Amino acid sequence: MPKKILIISGSPKKDGNTTALIEWFQEGIITKGGIPDIVYAAFLKYKFPGCTSCRACQKSEKYECVIDDDARSVLLKMAKADIIVMATPLYFFGPSAQLKIIMDRMFSLYKWDNAAGTMKTPLQGKTLILLASAFEGEGLDALEKPFTLIARYTGMSFDSLIIANAGVSGDIRNKDGVKEKIVALGKRIL
């Protein structure tokens, strides 16, 4: 069975650095028989600008957000994927808001039993990968931290490639050695 790879782009630029990273990562996985599915978080339609904290998902056994919009279908894809790739530009020392909306809506993929002190999630056993780029190099650890914590919390393995000094959108294509690194990660992950 080929592995299912879900790539979520958090960049509002379709021709920018994040897109280049995704393109190269795909090149790697396709050579190994992987089937990528790409979602552009910035171009999805949402009923609300983030998680509403309604907590209705916690009253159901299903790993589904009750808000029936585009984020909901991304979450369903996430639950079925083997590998989840989150690709984002560094925006003020964190992921883009476009990606963060999806990350917060992942609340519906966790089922907490506070009395028992347990949490169940279909994310357990999957792989989470962070691909990111930044204009400079400051704060890359801050960007990576929430992803490492989410991976640890949910029982996913984690890998990342963050490219510093990537310039503005599209400049990363002129940086020596980046493409090779990302293609290699795509190959290695399968």
Ligand X SMILES: Cc1cc2nc3c(=O)[nH]c(=O)nc-3n(C[C@H](O)[C@H](O)[C@H](O)COP(=O)(O)O)c2cc1C
x/- mask, ligand X, residues 74-103, rule CB under 6 A, reads ---------------xxxxx----------
Among 150, 166, 182, 183, binds ligand X (CB under 6 A): 166
Instruction: Report, in Å, the least distance between residue 165 CB and ligand X.
Output: 8
Looking at beta carbons, which residue is closest to ligand X? 16
Segment lying near ligand X (by CB under 6 A), choices 72-80, 99-107, 129-137, 154-162: 129-137
Question: What sign for the dihedral angle of Cα 27, 124, 79, 162?
Answer: negative
Residue 57's CB is within 10 A of a number of other CB atoms, namely 20
Residues with Cβ < 8 Å from 163, sequence gap 6 or more? 17, 21, 132, 133, 134, 172, 175, 178
x/- mask, ligand X, residues 32-71, rule CB under 6 A, reads ----------------------------------------
Q: Residue 78 or residue 134: which is nearer to ligand X going by CB?
A: 134
x/- mask, ligand X, residues 15-34, rule CB under 6 A, reads -xxx----------------
Q: Residue 8 or residue 65: which is nearer to ligand X going by CB?
A: 8
Q: Measure Cα distances from 118 to 73, 104, 114, 115, 128 in Å.
A: 26, 19, 6, 8, 21
User: Collapsing DSSP states into helix, strand and coil, what is residue 189?
Assistant: coil
Q: Residue 93 or residue 153: which is nearer to ligand X going by CB?
A: 93
154 binds ligand X (CB under 6 A): no
State the distance between the two ends of the chain, measured CA to CA, in whole angstroms.
12
Instruction: Report, in Å, the least distance between residue 154 CB and ligand X.
Output: 26
Helix residue ranges, H only, the chain: 17-31, 70-80, 97-105, 140-154, 178-188
**H or E stretch covering 113:** strand 111-113
Applying CB under 6 A, the residues found at the interface with ligand X are 11, 13, 16-18, 89-93, 133-136, 139, 166, 168-169
